[in-house]
Amino acid sequence: PAVYWYLSRGFSYWSKRGIKGPRPFPIFGNLLDFFIIPQPLQELKWFKKYGKIYGHYLGKTPILNISDPELIKQVLVKDFHLFPDRSRFARSTDEIMSRNMVQLTGDDWKRVRSIVSPTFTSGKMKKMYPRIKECLTDFMNHLEGFAAKKEEVNGFAAKKEEVNVKDLYGNYTMDVIATCAFATKTDVHKALDNPFVVNARITFNTSPVRRIAQMMLPGFVQKRLGLTNSSTSARHFFLGSIRQILENRRQNQNKKYNDFLQLLIDVEKENDITRDENDVNESHHVNEGEEELAVERKALNINVVNKHLTENEILAQAMVFLLAGYETTGTLLSFCTYELALNPHVQEILHKEVNSAIDSNGEIDYDLLSRLPYLDAVISETLRLHSPAQRLSRLSTTDYKLGDTGITLHPGQQVDFPIYAIHTSEENYPHPFQFNPDRFMPENRHNITPYTYLPFGAGPRNCIGMRFALLEAKLGLANIIRRFKFFPTTRTDIPLRYKRSFGLMAPQRLIVGIEKRV
C-alpha cells in the first residue's frame, strides 16, 4: 500500500476539484489507455461517459478536456493572449527543430508566424498550382497502371484491381512537397526506395516506448538521451538536403525558384494579405468572423525589426512543412477515397460536379476549384469524420476562471480539445457516423455550431498550411474522380481499423477497388 500510494501521488488533482475522469494508473496516468484503444476512440468513450469537461493524466500531468463550443472559442480565440502556447509534450529538444513555429512560444512564435504567414496567401498558392499539377500528372499515370493492367505492379495487387491507397497517396503528397517546398523531383512512383519517401516514413514510425519516454521524462533528460520527436537518421537526411539546396541558391542568386523554400528566403520583401475572397466559399472558415480576424491581427501585431529568418529558422520551418504536410494530406485523401468507395451515390454527384467544371483544355481553373461546393463538402465531411489531427492543446499562462464552470485553471495547466469526440457528438452532428457531405453545402452550413468543426484548429495558432493542404487535396481528388471509380472489395476494412498512436489518426491499411471510367 505504501508503494502504491507513493506511485499514485498527484493523481487526486481532478477528484479534489470535483472534476470527473478516467481512473489513472500509477506512474503512467491514463497513457496506457491509448494502447488498449486508439486515442480518438478512447476519447470519444470518455466524452460519452464524463461529458464536455473531464480530466485525465498523461504521466503525472493533469489535462483538462473541453468539448463545449463556447469554452473552446473562449480559450482559442477570445482569450488567446492568455493561452498562446501549445502542449509542452510536443516540444522537441533538438536545436533546430525547436525553432519551428509549431513548437515556438511567446514572442518567438509571434515573430516567426508573422514573418511566415504571407508565404501561404492565395496568391502564393496560385503560383504553386502548376507545380502541383505536374506531380498530379505523374500520379495519374501511375494510377492507370493499377486500373488497366491485370498483373502485379510494384508489389501492389493490381491483378485484383485493388490498391492500398494509403501508400499511393503518401507517394503523391511526398512528390508535391518535395516539388513545392524544395524544387526537387522525387520520381517516387517509379523508385519506391526513394530516400525522400523512405525517410519520411521512418519519421512517422516512432516506437511507442519512445513516445511514452518523451511524455514522461523532463526535457533535459530527453536531450541527454537523444530522444527527439523524429528519427535521427531521417532528420539528418532532410536537414542535409535542405542545407545543400540553400547553399546552391546562395551560389546562384540570379536564378529564382517558385517554391516554399525560396519564399522563406525572400520573405523580408513580402507585405501580403493572408485572407482572400475565395475563402468564403470553403467550409474551413466556418469559425471565422470579424472577432476572430481582429484577434488574429492583434496576436500577430509585433514590431519585427529584422524581417528575415535565420538559417536554423528556415530549416525548422521547411522541416515542419515537410513532416506536417506529408502524412496529413495523404491520410485525408485515403479516407476520402474510402468513403467514396462506400458511398457510390456521393461519388457520382462529385463526378458530375467536377466534369461540369472542366474547361476546353480539360483542366480545372485554380479559382474555380475553390468554388466547387460539393467537392468542398466531401473534403469537409471527410475531415469531420476522419480528422488526421486528434486533438488541440493550449497552456494557461495565468490563474483563469473558465466561464461559469467554477473551474479555475492555474499557470502551466494544459487544456485539450478532443477533435474526434467533438466531431462525432450527436448533439453537434445528427447521425454523426453517417458520411453525409450535405451537412457542409452552403445552404446547410448555418446548422453547424461554430467551434464544433476543428480539423485545422482555430484562432491565431490554427494550421498555417491549411490553404496549401486543401489545394493539394482538392486538385488531387477532383482529377482522380474524373478518371477513376472506387468500390469496396472483400479486403476493404468495414469498419476501419485504426493504428494505436498518439499523433495522427491513421488507418492500419486502406484497401479499395479501382476501375478506370469509360
What is the rounded distance in angstroms from the CA atom of residue 237 to the CA atom of residue 419? 33
Domain that holds residue 429: 67-516
In a domain? residue 439:
yes
**Cell numbers given for 209:** 516506448
In a domain? residue 311:
yes
Q: 494 by DSSP, 3-state: which?
A: coil
Query: Each residue's pLDDT tens digit in the chain (518 positions)?
Result: 555 555 566 789 999 999 999 999 988 899 888 888 888 999 999 999 999 999 999 988 999 999 999 999 999 999 999 999 988 766 677 788 889 998 899 888 999 998 898 888 888 899 899 999 999 999 998 888 766 554 444 544 344 478 888 888 988 998 999 888 887 777 777 766 778 778 877 776 655 555 666 565 556 555 665 655 556 788 888 889 889 888 888 888 777 788 888 888 887 555 544 555 566 666 666 676 777 777 777 777 666 556 678 889 999 999 888 888 888 899 999 999 999 999 999 999 999 999 999 887 888 999 999 899 999 999 999 999 999 888 999 999 999 999 999 999 999 999 999 999 999 999 999 999 999 999 999 999 999 999 999 999 999 999 999 999 999 999 999 999 999 999 999 999 999 988 776 667 788 889 999 988 87
- DSSP alpha helices (H): ranges in 303-400? 311-342, 344-356, 366-369, 373-385
Q: How far apart are the first and last CA of the chain?
A: 71
| H or E element at residue 400 | strand 400-401
Query: Checking phi first, is residue 409 left (phi over 0); if not, alpha (psi -120 to 50) or beta?
Result: beta
What is the rounded distance in angstroms from the CA atom of residue 216 to the CA atom of residue 57? 11
In a domain? residue 51:
no
What is the rounded distance in angstroms from the CA atom of residue 259 to the CA atom of residue 244? 15
In a domain? residue 417:
yes
Distance of CA 136 to the CA centre of its chain: 21
Q: Cis peptide leading into 442, omega within 30 of 0?
A: no
- pLDDT of amino acid 28: 87
**Cell numbers given for 497:** 481499423
Q: How many residues does the chain have?
A: 518
Q: What is the pTM of this model?
A: 0.89
Residue ranges of the annotated binding site are 463
What are the DSSP calls for 221-281, one per residue? Answer: HHHHHT--SS-HHHHHHHHHHHHHHHHHHHHTTTS---SHHHHHHTGGG----S--GGGGG
In a domain? residue 44:
no
What is the rounded distance in angstroms from the CA atom of residue 266 to the CA atom of residue 277? 25
CATH assignment of the domain containing 495:
1.10.630.10
Q: 451 by DSSP, 3-state: which?
A: coil
In a domain? residue 192:
yes
In a domain? residue 106:
yes
Query: How far is residue 333 from each of residues 337, 338, 506, 508, measured CA to CA in Å?
Result: 6, 9, 12, 15
CA atoms within 13 A on the CB side of 283: 31
In a domain? residue 32:
no
- pLDDT of amino acid 159: 45
Residue ranges of the annotated binding site for heme are 463
- pLDDT of amino acid 210: 59
- pLDDT of amino acid 249: 85
Counting the structural domains of the chain, the total is 1
- pLDDT of amino acid 150: 46
